[in-house]
Structure 1
């Protein structure tokens, strides 16, 4: 349990760090961090009960795009500010490193296995974001609030 809390905190801080690097305006740091931490929490929760990194990444990216669009409507900011920072935790950086390492040391079989897994995760992220972008603005609470105000 404590490990889960530390990982969520690390996702929050890592996302904020990426937001700083990405030159997001300061007023959005906490929102970006919360969205990234929430996406990482969903990923960890799914991985705990259903050990399928591709499926967990897809569902977490769907949640991320929903939260990013919700924050975009609520804060009247571009959705990419929240999405790019939030997706940071889901990008398979260690897998890409392991693929590259095994490729250059000559272990082609292991490199191919890791490369296919990394490609599946990257496609899951892309499909999740695409599916989330296809949702009508009518699905978002903040959109309705913005229309009334």
Structure 2
């Protein structure tokens, strides 16, 4: 039941961020679906591997793939779907915990939290980078559009 609630919350949170990000209204549903699927992949990989970094990397890689697929299919910029979809993976709580521990004076715990936040940020960046390196021919919507243009 908690997984279902997390998926619903990630859907709503992604759409909420899309509204704040000033995404065109016709893409809200797609952004929400992409964000929710990305979070679901994160939860599954985290359950299978117990590694926060691997789960974040795989989820970011799948998010960029879905964002590029939606971009080709809907003829929209990929950043619309990627930035909204990646919202759930960003380690905002970790940044908050780091700032709190730092200002409270627990420098050792703050450093540990900061290292974890940086590792997660690097995993997200690597997943996006590898996803951007995929050629357009890897995407179904791109191939379908090219077939229709012939």
Pick the TM interval, shorter chain: over 0.9
Q: 2:125 maps to what in 1?
A: 126
Q: 1:105 maps to what in 2?
A: 104
How many correspondences in the alignment? Answer: 148
RMSD: 0.5
Q: Distance in 1 between matches of 2:130 and 2:139?
A: 15
Q: Distance in 1 between matches of 2:102 and 2:36?
A: 32
TM-aligned CA deviation for residue 118 of structure 1: 0.3
Runs of 4+ residues over 4 Å off in structure 1:
none
TM-aligned CA deviation for residue 96 of structure 1: 0.5
Per-residue Cα deviation, 1:10-59 (whole angstroms, up to 9, x for no partner): 00000000000001011100000000001100111111121111110000
- Segments of 5+ residues of structure 1 without an aligned counterpart are none
TM-aligned CA deviation for residue 148 of structure 1: 1.4
SS of the residue corresponding to residue 90 of structure 1 reads: coil
- Segments of 5+ residues of structure 2 without an aligned counterpart are none
Q: 2:138 maps to what in 1?
A: 139
SS of the residue corresponding to residue 76 of structure 2 reads: coil
Q: Distance in 2 between matches of 1:40 and 1:83?
A: 13
